[in-house]
Amino acid sequence: MNISPRERLYQLLPAIHRIRDTERGEPLRALLTIIGDELAGIEQDIDGLYDDWFIETCAEWVVPYIGDLLGVRGLHSLPEEAGFSLRAYVANTLRYRRRKGTAPVLEQLARDVTGWPCRAVEYFERLATTQHLNHVRLHSPATASLRNATALELTDGPLETVNHTVEVRNIAPGRGRYNIANIGLFLWRLQSYFIQDVTPQPVADPPDGRYRFSPLGHDAPLFNRPRTETEIAHLAEEPDLPVALRRRALYADLEALRLSPATDKPAASAYLDAGPAFQVFVPNAQGALEPIPAEEILICNLEDIPGEADWRRPPTSKSYAGESRPIRVAVDPQNGRLAFPIGVVPADLAVSYAYGFPADIGGGPYSRLETLVPDAGAEVFTATVAQRGGDYAGLADAIAAWTNAAKASGVITILDSATYVGPLLIAMAAGRSLVIQAAEGRRPLLRVQDDGAPQPWIVTGADGDGASLTLNGLWIEGGIAIQSNSLERLCVRHCTLVPGWRIDASGNPLLPMLPSIRALGPNPDFRLELERTICGALHLAADGDGLLAFDSVIDAFDAANVACAGENGSTVGPPAGFERCTVVGEVRARQLDLISESILLGRALAERRQVGCSRFSFLGEGSRAPRRHRCQPDLAWEAYAAAQGKGVDALTAAERRMIALTVTPTFAATRFGRPAYMQLSVSCPAAIAEGAEDGGEMGAFHLLQQPQRLANLRAALEEYLRVGLEAGIFLED
C-alpha cells in the first residue's frame, strides 16, 4: 500500500497510540503531518543535489553556475514566459569549441542562444567566380538553371542555390551579403503549431468536395513541422525549418515517392513521413477515420479560376511508367485548400496541419497545463465534450447538464479540435462558477449561430452576486453578450474571439463594428480579465468594476474605431488596465489604472487622470491619459525639442506629427488570420522594439524577449566567430 509522505511518520507509531490519538481528535496526527511535510522537503532537496550535478537534469537556476565552471560567457537571463532556456547553450559549449568558427557551429549556436530555428549561409559559396580546373565546384555553377523552377523560387533567400556577383557593403547592419568574409544567420521568428483533428470548412453548402484547412474558412498557408537535427555538423535544410510549405517542393517530394519502385526500399517523404506536416482523414470501410497515404495526395494550385466558380479538381489516378497510381485528394499548401475529385464528397472529414504564429497567444495547441483546472473531485460537476468519445457530443448539452445540476461549481473540458456549431446560452445563478476549457494540445472552434446567422454567446442570470465564468483555450466565432447581474467575473485565457465575429476567404471581417464582448449594466461588481487573448472591441457598462488585460491583442481594425468603451460603444467605459497589450482603436474609460509596456494605436481617453499611471508605452496622438513615464511619442518630442533648444510646448502641430511618425509602431501584418499577425516588423523603430522597461518590445509579444535574444546572439558570436569573418543577422517572418 502506498503511503503519502505526510502520513509516513504517523503510520510508524504503534497502533495503540494511533487509537488513543483518534479518541482525542488526532492532535498527534496533525503534528506529525507538519513534520512529515518538512521531512519530505528535505529529502527532495537531497535528491535534487545529485540531479544538479548534470546540465541535463539540473534545476534552471543551476544552469549559469555550471556554465561558469566552463567559462561560458554570461548572457541575458530570460524569464520563463519566453519559453526559452540557456541549458542547450551551456550543454553544447564543448562541441562549439571543438568546431569553433565553422558554419554548422554558428548555426547551432544561434539556435541554442535565441531559441529560434536558424540557417547559416556562407556567402563565398554563393559567389559567381571563375573556377580553377583543378578545383571545379559542381555544386556551385556560375549561372542559374532555368529548368529547376523549385530552386529558382528560393532566389535571394537563405536557401537559395543561385550565385551572385560580389557585394562590398557591410553585412553587420544587414545591407550587404555576397562577399568572401560574410556569413548570414537567418532566424525564423514564426513558430510552427501543429493542430490535430480539425474540422475543415467546406466552400459550398451543402459540401461539394472543396474545403479550406482553416476552420474559419479563410485562405492560410500550411507550415512545415521542422525535423529534429541530431548532428551539430548538419546545416539546416528546408524540411528542418518552420517555413511555409511550397507547392513545387512538396510536389517534387511526393512525385519521388510515387516513382519509387514498390519492390525496393520505398523512398521517404521529407514532409509527410515521420511527423507529417499535414494529414487528411476520411472514413474507411468500417466508418472510422484514417489518413490518406502520402502517395495518394496530389499537390497542385487550387487558386480561383477567373470566370469560373469551381476550383481545379484532381484526377482519380496518374500513370507512372505504365502503372496507374490512385489519387484521392488534391492539396494546395500555399492557400490551405484541399479538393476531392468531381463527385467525391466524404461522409466525414478531418485534417491535421501546422500553421504559423509568433507566440503562445490566443487559442492554440501549445501547452497550457498550468492554467487548466484538473479533476476537482465529487463536489464539482465535471463533463467532457467531444464529437467522438466524450460525455456529450455538443457544448450546449454539457452546459444544460451543469445548469440543471445541484453542484455550484462546474468544469467542462472539450477533448478535440473540432468545430461546434449552434446557439449557446449560459444561465449564471448567484454563487455559481463554471470553467469551459480546451484540453491540453487542443483548440476547438465554437461557431455561435442560429439558422446560419452569427449570434452572440448569451450569458444571463438573476440578481445576486458571486458568479464567475472562465474560458480557456477556445476559438469563438461570434461575440459574448453578458446580460447577467449576478456575474462578477469573466476570465478569458488563451482564447481567440475572432475580431469582427467572422472573416471571409481573404481574412476580411464580416461584421467589423460588432464587439467581441458586450456587458450590459447595471452590474457594478462585473470584472473582465483577459490573459494572452486575441479579441475585437470591448463594450462594457460604465458602472462595472473594470477591465484588466495582460499580454493580449484587442483589435478594432482602425485607430479611429472604438476598441474599449461603454456598453453602447460611444460612452465612457469602466476603469481599465493594460499590461503588455496591443490595442488597435480608441480606449474610453472612467479611469486608466495602469498602462504598462503597451501599444495603444488609438487615443487613450480617461475621465479621471489623477489616478493611474502610463509607463513605457506608446499612446496615440491626442490621448488624455494619467501621468506618463517614459512613454512615446513624448520621449521623441522631448529629444527633438532639446535638440532645437526649446520647450516641448513650443513645438508646432506639424512638428509633433512629424516626430510621432518616426516612433509609430509598424507591424509585419495587421489582418487577423495572417501568420505574422500583430508582430512588430523588422523595420519597427527601436523606440518601440526596445522601449519596454527591461529593454524588450512594447505590446502583446513582449513575452518573447526578442531584443534580449538578439543581444545574447551578438555577444556569443564574439567568442565563436573566426577572425576575418563577419556575421549578419536576418529575421525571417
Residue 434 · residue 410 · CB < 8 Å: yes
Helices (H), 134-242: 149-152
Task: For the chain, list residues with pLDDT below 70.
Answer: 1-5, 79-83, 261-266, 321, 376
Residue 291 · residue 281 · CB < 8 Å: yes
Distance set, CA 498 to CA 343, 556, 568 (Å): 33, 11, 20
Residue 115 · residue 84 · CB < 8 Å: yes
Give the sheet arrangement for strand 118-122, strand by strand: 118-122, 182-188, 726-732
* Residue 522 CB neighbour total at 10 angstroms: 11
By the 10 Å C-beta count (0-12 exposed, 13-18 middle, 19+ buried), 557 is classed as buried
Q: Which grid coordinates belong to 28?
A: 498527534
Q: Which grid coordinates belong to 99?
A: 568546431
> Which amino acid is located at 543 in the chain?
D
> How far is Cα 219 from Cα 377, in angstroms, rounded to an integer?
43
Whole-number pLDDT of residue 150: 86
Whole-number pLDDT of residue 9: 81
pTM of the model: 0.89
Measured in residues, the chain has a length of 733
Q: Which residue in 501, 499, 598, 587 sits closest to 550, CA to CA?
A: 598
Half-sphere exposure of 617 (CA within 13 A, CB side): 32
Whole-number pLDDT of residue 264: 60
Angle at the Cα of 474 (from 470 to 475), degrees rounded to 5?
135
Q: For the chain, what is the mean pLDDT?
A: 90
Residue 365 · residue 193 · CB < 8 Å: yes
Q: Residue 723: which residues within 8 A CB-CB, separation 6 or more?
A: none
DSSP class of residue 292 equals P
Give the residue carrying C-alpha cell 544587414: 174
At 225-257, the pLDDT tens digits run 998 877 778 899 999 999 999 999 999 999 988
Coil, strand or helix at 125: helix
Peptide bond into 522 cis (omega under 30): yes
Residue 685 · residue 663 · CB < 8 Å: yes
Q: Residue 475: which residues within 8 A CB-CB, separation 6 or more?
A: 215, 216, 363, 443, 444, 445, 446, 495, 496, 498
At 375-387, the pLDDT tens digits run 767 789 999 999 9
Residue 372 · residue 437 · CB < 8 Å: yes
Whole-number pLDDT of residue 319: 84
Whole-number pLDDT of residue 510: 94
Task: Enumerate the domain spans of the chain.
Answer: 5-51, 90-187+708-732, 192-357, 408-553+568-575, 632-666
Residue 672 · residue 534 · CB < 8 Å: yes
